[in-house]
A and B are shown apart, each in its own frame.
Chain A
Amino acid sequence: DAKTTQPPSMDCAEGRAANLPCNHSTISGNEYVYWYRQIHSQGPQYIIHGLKNNETNEMASLIITEDRKSSTLILPHATLRDTAVYYCIVDERGGSEKLVFGKGMKLTVNP
Chain B
Amino acid sequence: ETGVTQTPRHLVMGMTNKKSLKCEQHLGHNAMYWYKQSAKKPLELMFVYSLEERVENNSVPSRFSPECPNSSHLFLHLHTLQPEDSALYLCASSQELAYGYTFGSGTRLTVV
Task: Identify which of A9-17, A20-28, A59-67, A98-106 touches chain B.
Answer: A98-106
Q: How large is the interface on A (under 10, 10 to 19, 20 to 34, 35 or more residues)?
A: 20 to 34
A95 touches B92 (CB 8 A): no
B residues at A contact (CB < 8 Å): 2, 4, 33, 35, 42-43, 45, 48, 50, 55-56, 88, 90-92, 96-106, 108
Roughly how many angstroms separate A13 CA and B48 CA in the complex, as a whole number?
A: 39
Residues of the B chain whose Cβ atoms lie less than 8 Å from the Cβ of A96 = 97-98
Residues of the A chain whose Cβ atoms lie less than 8 Å from the Cβ of B92 = 43-44
| Interface of chain A, main secondary structure | loop
Residues of the B chain whose Cβ atoms lie less than 8 Å from the Cβ of A99 = 45, 98, 101
- Write out, one digit per residue, whether chain A residues 28-47 have a CB within 8 A of any chain B CB (1) or not (0): 00000000100001111110
A44 touches B101 (CB 8 A): yes
A residues at B contact (CB < 8 Å): 2, 36, 41-46, 49, 91-104
Most buried by B among A2, A99, A103: A99
Residues of the A chain whose Cβ atoms lie less than 8 Å from the Cβ of B99 = 49, 93-94
A101 touches B42 (CB 8 A): yes
Q: Given contacts A103-B42, A104-B42, are A94 and B96 in contact (CB under 8 A)?
A: yes
B103 touches A43 (CB 8 A): yes
Q: Given contacts A43-B92, A44-B43, A98-B56, are A93 and B105 in contact (CB under 8 A)?
A: no
